A = this chain, B = another copy of it.
Amino acid sequence: MSPKQQRGEATVELLLDTALRVYAEGGEQALTVNAVTKASGVSLGSLYHHFGSIDGLVDALLMRWLERLLGEMVTALEHSRTARTGVRALTRAYLSFVREHREAGMLLHSSRADRLGMTQAARLRDAQEARLTPMAAWVAHHVEKGEIAPLPVPLIESLVLGPVVGAARRWLTFGDIDLDEAARVLPERIWRSISAEPE
């Protein structure tokens, strides 16, 4: 199903770009096959040839941006020596991403992201193993080094990502959060929650 010819590649790109634009302009209900074909000039046949269904298209769009987001998060971790700085870098990477790609961020946080009964996390696990495994490994590694409290990895991940995702979500839909302040304050607060050091 992935394109074998260059024109196919171009069509796929065009469709994905157009889909995000349509979503950005008209919101979720606007994201229909018809709207995307009209706005892109691509025919129905091509859309279905490449994506199989409207969900397939949205899916691919989500994947594209999720890949980017996770990539930046993993990079942030890899460039950090200690667990503490890792948390800071991860938080900043995440918040910068949603600030710089508002529409994509909204798509990732909202609604369609859970299509087909999978949550963002589940989707990650299935298709982004290459990105997720390093994060879990990173956590496990720092737990073993005694920096992070000896808790199950999923709980650590909830403690770290939960507040970051929550703050991003809130900024996206409400705007009652100052992203700079969040990037400054959350990391140290999150760190207190997962640190192995006694209270």
What residues of chain A have their CB less than 8 Å away from a CB belonging to chain B? 27-29, 109-119, 121-122, 125, 149, 151-152, 154-155, 157-159, 161-167, 169-170, 172-174, 176-178, 181-182, 185-186, 189-190, 192-195, 199
Further 15 A-B residue pairs, CB within 8 A, beyond A111-B114, A158-B162, A158-B170 = A109-B114, A111-B117, A119-B172, A119-B173, A121-B169, A155-B189, A158-B186, A159-B163, A159-B186, A159-B193, A165-B166, A190-B193, A192-B193, A192-B195, A193-B193
Knowing A174-B122, A199-B192, say if A162 contacts B167 (CB, 8 Å): yes
* Closest B residue, CB atoms, query A190: B193
Residue among B125, B163, B199 making CB contact with A174, cutoff 8 Å:
B125
Question: Smallest Cβ distance from A7 to chain B, in angstroms?
Answer: 32
Report whether B111 and A159 are in contact in the complex, using a CB–CB cutoff of 8 Å: no
CB-defined contacts of A154 to chain B, threshold 8 Å: 167, 170, 174, 176-177
CB-defined contacts of A185 to chain B, threshold 8 Å: 151, 155
Question: Smallest Cβ distance from A168 to chain B, in angstroms?
Answer: 9
A159 CA / B182 CA spacing, docked (Å): 11
A115 CA / B31 CA spacing, docked (Å): 13
Question: Smallest Cβ distance from A144 to chain B, in angstroms?
Answer: 18
Give 10 closest A-B pairs by Cβ, nearest first: A162-B162, A162-B166, A111-B114, A158-B166, A162-B163, A193-B193, A110-B114, A158-B167, A119-B173, A189-B193
CB-defined contacts of A195 to chain B, threshold 8 Å: 192
A113 CA / B110 CA spacing, docked (Å): 9
